[in-house]
């Protein structure tokens, strides 16, 4: 019996050491790449840009944040706001801004009881209305962190570049939910920015992303993903972005900040919508994305088992400590890079609970619809 238990514990220790190695690989190869990345300061000629914003009942956010987009320090750009079936004061707010900013264009979609649609349709209307080749996307509740946002994001477009992936964070507010939302968005950014830097672009966020209009139409637009509520940003990148046609940009001043949710159920609804796209990623990307959280769950589970039996505990603690120190250092460096204060200490707890939360939401999506035609 003793030998049998020993063999089981050896197997558990082997799993523990293996998943710790996987975790270290992700942190040192993908996530740390965000901190060490040095963008090219290439000077491309000024190219006309179309900024596209889709808005549904966003009068308050448009009035508050749209001037930061309209006031960019850039000589040649238009801003297209797609006012999608709004029932608030959006029309009046946009009409007022049109009188002040001649480069603002408004495309309106009116309610039709016979026709319901998701955000993709509004996005398509904006792309069709754009007159320029370079399209830069953000949301109505987003604010660029500087008036150089448009200039720096568009500067990456040379003859090879089709996509530029930026960082979209959330405003810092009080409360644990806000800290978790900012942690979650930052961790996702560590993944998609780090993987893009390593030549594996798999997604972008519609709060801060740019691509070529010609790529959208030549690739068939949203194609086979038109029926999905989400995916206007990540699935389009997942299908069309490559090592050679994608750049990243996340220097200070190029970030956008969004209004966070203040209620847990509202954030859960948004998260459920976002996770509906995961099954449609390429097999390679699904494998890379599922491996890390599974390894993390196994890491903590086997650590508890081994420690409860005090089995090889000096080695167990040494491996745990190595992974913990690596996590803290990498997360701290990237946190500074992406300007996310106040979440480092909380990240140690969030690191444990986030794969559980995401797993529950992901599995729940298979049981029932997650808000059809709700794109916000």
Nearest in space to 69 (alpha carbons), one of 144, 132, 1: 144
How many C-beta neighbours within 10 Å does residue 113 have?
Answer: 5
Rounded Cα distance between 239 and 227, Å, is: 16
Q: How many domains does the chain have?
A: 2
How far is 323 from 320, CA to CA, in rounded Å? Answer: 5
pLDDT above 50: residue 264: yes
Residue 371, in any domain of the structure: no
pLDDT at 1 over 80: no
Same domain, 199 and 312: no
Q: Which domain holds residue 117?
A: 39-268
Sole residue written with tokens 């088992």 = 305
Q: What is the pLDDT of residues 319-348, one digit of tens each?
A: 999 999 999 999 999 999 999 999 999 999
Tell whether 25 and 82 lie within a shared domain: no
Contact 52, 80 (CB under 8 A): yes
Q: What is the Cα–Cα distance from 245 to 136, expressed in whole angstroms?
A: 16
230 plus 339 within the same structural domain: no
pLDDT over 70, % of the chain: 95
Q: How far apart are CA 130 and CA 148, in angstroms?
A: 21
Same structural domain for residues 121 and 27?
A: no
206-226 pLDDT tens trace: 999 999 999 999 999 887 787
Tell whether 31 is covered by a domain. yes
Q: Which of 268, 301, 335 is the last residue of a domain?
A: 268
Q: What would the pLDDT profile of 34-81 be if each residue is shown by its tens digit? A: 999 988 776 678 899 999 999 999 999 999 999 999 999 999 999 999
My answer on whether 85 and 210 are in the same domain is yes
Report the predicted TM-score, pTM, of the whole model to 2 decimal places.
0.92
């Amino acid at each position: 019996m003793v030998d049998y238990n020993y063999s089981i514990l050896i197997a558990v220790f082997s799993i523990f050491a293996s998943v710790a190695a996987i975790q270290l690989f992700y942190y040192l190869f993908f996530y740390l790449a965000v901190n060490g990345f040095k963008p090219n300061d290439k000077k491309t000629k000024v190219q006309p840009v179309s900024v596209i914003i889709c808005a549904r009942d966003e009068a308050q956010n448009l009035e508050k944040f749209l001037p930061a987009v309209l006031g960019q320090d850039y000589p040649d750009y238009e801003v297209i706001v797609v006012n999608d079936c709004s029932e608030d004061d959006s029309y009046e707010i946009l009409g007022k801004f049109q009188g002040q900013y001649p480069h603002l264009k408004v495309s309106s979609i009116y309610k039709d009881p016979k026709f319901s649609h998701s955000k993709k349709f509004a996005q398509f209307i904006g792309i069709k209305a754009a007159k320029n080749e370079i399209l830069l996307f953000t949301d109505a509740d987003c604010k660029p962190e500087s008036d150089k946002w448009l200039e720096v994001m568009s500067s990456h477009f040379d003859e090879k570049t089709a996509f530029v992936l930026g960082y979209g964070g959330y405003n810092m507010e009080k409360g644990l939910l806000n800290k978790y939302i900012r942690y979650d968005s930052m961790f996702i950014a560590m993944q998609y920015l780090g993987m893009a830097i390593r030549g594996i672009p798999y997604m972008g966020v519609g709060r801060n992303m740019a691509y070529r209009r010609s790529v959208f139409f030549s690739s068939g637009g949203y194609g086979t993903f038109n029926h999905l509520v989400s995916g206007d940003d990540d699935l389009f990148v997942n299908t069309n972005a490559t090592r050679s046609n994608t750049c990243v940009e996340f220097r200070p001043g190029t970030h956008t900040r969004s209004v966070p949710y203040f209620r847990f159920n509202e954030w859960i609804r948004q998260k459920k919508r976002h996770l509906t796209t995961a099954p449609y990623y390429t097999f390679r990307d699904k494998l890379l994305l599922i491996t890390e959280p599974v390894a993390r769950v196994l890491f903590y589970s086997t650590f508890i088992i081994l420690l409860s039996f005090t089995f090889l505990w000096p080695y167990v603690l040494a491996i745990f400590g190595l992974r913990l120190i690596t996590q803290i250092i990498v997360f701290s460096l990237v946190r500074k890079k992406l300007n996310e204060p106040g979440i480092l200490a909380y990240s140690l707890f969030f690191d444990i609970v986030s794969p559980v939360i995401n797993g529950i939401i992901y599995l729940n999506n298979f049981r029932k619809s997650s808000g059809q035609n709700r794109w916000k």
